[in-house]
């Protein structure tokens, strides 16, 4: 019966789960979540593999945020393992911290030169500062130009070419700016105030978010098969649906890619279990100058699982998304042309006042988990505010 639900949410990733909980809890809305995969959690889904090691099916996920609201909200559903992610770049076999920082400087250059460069970097930019590789490349001092060249060529250029099939100049500057250069000795990958891993993993966290009597879940169901937009009406299982629809999947796919596919990058993941307690010294090693994969992550560093003699790693191989069966669109390719195409799809939703686009795919953005939670909370605020306004 269509009248059973006030709200249909498509996709059970963070966006779908958080907005469902908000509407169910704060407004007493009866929500149905429709998810095409056989599990909850979207791309943050984790599970125990055959060797009992907790792994992330769709790539390594570390939670970090500067937002107290986001951290307090998500902490309702999980306790935390105190974990600060550290990443090393493998540069022809030499390992150094990424983001490139003052410790990296002393590995990249001999100690006398490094000491001189450290002084120059501090007098130019100040201590405890972060800057982008383009800012560093913009300055004119010839010795600092050496540092900029070193970091550009050894940290950013080849990794970016592998990840995007493009050079750093060809991608949106905000992408490269995610990884700064740090004028400090902070070896952490993220500098956010709140960071860690859910103590029991992401899937149990999702189970808690969804544990509400107003939330119903239908797995293994593609929304395209049960929801249609015809004229200015939404149909659910063949009958007009008058309630709210929140869509968190790829927007082009909802409209059968009628204007052509939105470009994305996808990844192939290679899981390997090794008969050893530890494979590498840190959670992630980035291969920034060679190898066909971008990075290797060893999950036990992230999760803190105490298992002797076995460990699982994941290699990531990026490639263009083609829409072939089994491929998943992981990264929107941000540029003006792609955003124009996205806008054409978005216009198709204009006539539907209670149809909302939410999430990394549906908004065609490069959102981290915390940004998605914030967006979902804001959308719920907005919807609740709008509805209260009507009272
Ligand atoms: P998703 O998790 O993609 O969920 C969308 C859901 O909708 C999916 O379950 C999908 O199956 C479902 N769906 C789509 N279409 C349909 C349909 N037609 N019918 C039914 N269901 C449908 N963020 C961090 O903060 N820290 C990290 O360390 C981090 N690491 C990452 C590593 C990788 C490799 C990737 C790709 C992303 C990473 N992220 C990280 C980002 C994070 O994954 C996203 O911010 C977050 O998962 C987005 O949530 P979402 O709900 O918008 O999308
Ligand atoms: N990047 C790089 N070298 C690195 C790490 C990152 O060139 O060692 C660039 C690359 O273009 C990458 C972007 O910075 O896509 C953002 O990196 P981030 O680690 O945030 O990517 P994600 O974890 O989202 O894949």
Q: Pick the residue whose CA is nearest to atom 31 on ligand 1.
A: 61
What does the pLDDT read at residue 41? 98
H/E element holding 240? strand 239-240
What does the pLDDT read at residue 353? 86
What does the pLDDT read at residue 228? 94
Overall average pLDDT of the 175-183 stretch: 98
> In the sheet that 239-240 helps form, which strands lie side by side, from edge to edge?
227-230, 233-236, 239-240
For residues 16 and 179, the answer to whether their CB atoms sit within 8 Å is no
For residues 27 and 265, the answer to whether their CB atoms sit within 8 Å is no
Cβ 36 under 6 angstroms from ligand 1: yes
Average confidence score pLDDT of the chain: 96
Closest ligand relative to 95 C-alpha? 2
Q: Which of 70, 88, 304 is nearest to 188 (CA)?
A: 88
Cβ 198 under 6 angstroms from ligand 1: no
pLDDT in tens, 20-56: 999 999 999 999 999 999 999 999 999 999 999 999 9
Cβ 357 under 6 angstroms from ligand 1: no
Rounded to whole angstroms, how far apart are CA atoms 193 and 195? 7
Q: What is the DSSP string of 253-305?
A: HHTTTTT-PPPEEEEEEEEEEESSS-SSSSSEEEE-SSSSSSEEEEHHHHH--
The tokens of 342 are what? 């996205």
pLDDT in tens, 288-336: 999 999 999 999 999 999 999 999 999 999 999 999 999 999 999 999 9
What does the pLDDT read at residue 386? 59
For helices 111-125 and 142-151, what crossing angle results, to 10°? Answer: 100
Cβ 379 under 6 angstroms from ligand 1: no
Confidence of residue 97 (pLDDT cuts 50, 70, 90): very high
The tokens of 174 are what? 């905000």
Cβ 88 under 6 angstroms from ligand 2: no
Tell me the best of 10, 11, 56, 316 to mutate to test the pocket of ligand 1, counting ligand atoms within 8 Å of each CB and taking the most: 11
Closest ligand relative to 265 C-alpha? 1
Residue 13, preceding bond cis, omega within 30 degrees?
Answer: no
What does the pLDDT read at residue 390? 45
Cβ 179 under 6 angstroms from ligand 2: yes
Rounded to whole angstroms, how far apart are CA atoms 74 and 256? 34
Q: Which of 273, 294, 302 is nearest to 86 (CA)?
A: 302
pLDDT in tens, 138-148: 989 999 999 99
Q: What share of the chain is helix, strand, coil (3-state, %, to 5)?
A: 35, 25, 40
Overall average pLDDT of the 68-95 stretch: 98
The tokens of 4 are what? 């059973």
Residues β-bridged to residue 181 = 131
Residues β-bridged to residue 215 = 31
Q: Pick the residue whose CA is nearest to atom 10 on ligand 2.
A: 160
Overall average pLDDT of the 230-237 stretch: 92
Looking at the chain, the whole-number percentage of residues with pLDDT higher than 70 is 98
Specify the DSSP class assigned to residue 179: S
Cβ 361 under 6 angstroms from ligand 1: yes
pLDDT tops 50 at residue 1: no
Cβ 223 under 6 angstroms from ligand 1: yes
Cβ 163 under 6 angstroms from ligand 2: yes
Q: How far is CA 38 from CA 8, 11, 12, 238, 267, in A?
A: 18, 11, 10, 23, 20
For residues 253 and 316, the answer to whether their CB atoms sit within 8 Å is no
Confidence of residue 3 (pLDDT cuts 50, 70, 90): low
What does the pLDDT read at residue 314? 98
Task: Please give the backbone phi and psi of residue 42, each rounded to the nearest 5 degrees, phi first.
Answer: 55, -135
What does the pLDDT read at residue 30? 98
CA of residue 64 to ligand 2 center, whole Å: 16
Q: Pick the residue whose CA is nearest to atom 9 on ligand 2.
A: 176
Closest ligand relative to 365 C-alpha? 1
């Amino acid at each position: 019966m269509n009248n059973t639900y006030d709200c249909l949410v498509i996709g059970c990733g963070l966006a779908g789960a958080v907005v469902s909980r908000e509407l169910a809890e704060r407004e007493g809305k009866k929500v149905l979540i429709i998810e095409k995969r056989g599990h909850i959690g979207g791309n943050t889904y984790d599970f125990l593999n055959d060797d009992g090691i907790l792994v992330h099916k769709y790539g390594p996920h570390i939670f970090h945020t500067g937002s107290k609201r986001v951290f307090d909200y998500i902490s309702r559903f999980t306790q935390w393992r105190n974990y600060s992610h550290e990443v090393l770049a493998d540069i022809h076999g030499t390992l150094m911290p990424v983001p490139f920082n003052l410790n990296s400087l002393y590995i990249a250059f001999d100690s006398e030169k490094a000491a001189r460069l450290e002084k120059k970097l501090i007098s130019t930019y100040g201590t405890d500062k972060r800057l982008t590789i383009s800012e560093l490349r913009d300055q004119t001092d010839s010795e600092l130009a050496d540092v900029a060249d070193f970091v550009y060529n050894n940290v950013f250029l080849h990794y970016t070419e592998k990840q995007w099939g493009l050079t750093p100049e060809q991608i949106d500057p905000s992408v490269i700016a995610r990884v700064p250069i740090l004028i400090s000795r902070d070896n952490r990958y993220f500098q956010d105030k709140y960071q860690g891993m859910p103590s029991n993993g992401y899937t149990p966290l999702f189970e808690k978010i969804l544990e509400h009597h107003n939330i119903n879940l239908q797995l293994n169901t593609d929304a395209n098969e049960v929801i249609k937009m015809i004229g200015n009406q939404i149909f659910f299982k063949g009958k007009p649906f008058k309630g709210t629809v929140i869509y968190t999947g790829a927007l082009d796919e909802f409209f059968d890619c009628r204007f052509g596919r939105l470009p994305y990058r996808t990844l192939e993941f290679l899981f390997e279990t090794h008969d050893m307690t530890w494979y590498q010294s840190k959670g992630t090693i980035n291969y920034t100058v060679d190898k066909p994969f971008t990075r290797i992550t060893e999950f036990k560093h992230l999760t803190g699982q105490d298992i002797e003699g076995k460990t699982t790693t994941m290699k990531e191989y990026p490639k263009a998304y083609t829409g072939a069966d089994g491929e998943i669109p992981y990264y929107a390719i941000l540029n003006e042309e792609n955003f124009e195409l996205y806008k054409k799809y978005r216009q198709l939703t204009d006539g539907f006042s209670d149809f909302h686009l939410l999430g990394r795919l549906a908004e065609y953005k490069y959102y981290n988990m915390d940004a998605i939670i914030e967006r979902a909370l804001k959308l719920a605020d907005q919807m609740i505010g709008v509805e209260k306004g009507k009272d």
